[in-house]
Amino acid sequence: MMQVLEAYVPHYELSLLDRMLLIWLFIGSAFVVVLQVSQSWMEPRPRWTVLDERSKPYWYTYYVYLAFLLVQISYRPLRHKMDSMQPLLSIGGFEVAAAALDGAWIGLLSLEALMIVFVLALQVTQLFGKAASSPAAYKLKEL
């Protein structure tokens, strides 16, 4: 199964610059979460840090994005470590740990894509909801 996958999906290795950019992107993104947590005890609490019904989808999408970045950054070093411990982590020739790592990566990528689509759909429905409830729409209904 793995040989078929490797035949169709090209093996791409991140360069050192790509890996460093991802690490700095993760650090910069984590600062936003740290700032959000640090502002949670402030009175009055800044509106952008509040997790309410309106902002939950956006913050949860951001949190999954950070988890995906962490897995993306640590994927290659973890895979290298697993390859060096291959006899200990395989059952009947099947690499269980590598499959779990691949599953986590694909799962987080899929979850992030679904959350982005959900947030975009939420924005579109809110946009059309506001357009339908505008005063001009009420005037048309009255006529």
Chain-centre distance of CA 75, in angstroms? 15
How many structural domains does the chain have?
A: 1
In a domain, 6, yes or no: yes
Averaged over 105-116, what is the pLDDT? 92
In a domain, 127, yes or no: no
In a domain, 129, yes or no: no
In a domain, 46, yes or no: yes
The 10s digit of each residue's pLDDT in 63-106 is 999 998 888 888 888 877 777 776 666 666 567 777 788 888 89
Flag whether the pTM goes above 0.85: no
In a domain, 71, yes or no: yes
Tell me how far apart the alpha carbons of residues 27 and 42 are, in angstroms, rounded to a whole number. 24
- Name the residue range of residue 58's domain: 2-114
In a domain, 77, yes or no: yes
The 10s digit of each residue's pLDDT in 41-68 is 778 878 877 778 888 888 899 999 999 8
In a domain, 85, yes or no: yes
In sign, the C-alpha dihedral spanning 18, 24, 27, 31 is: negative
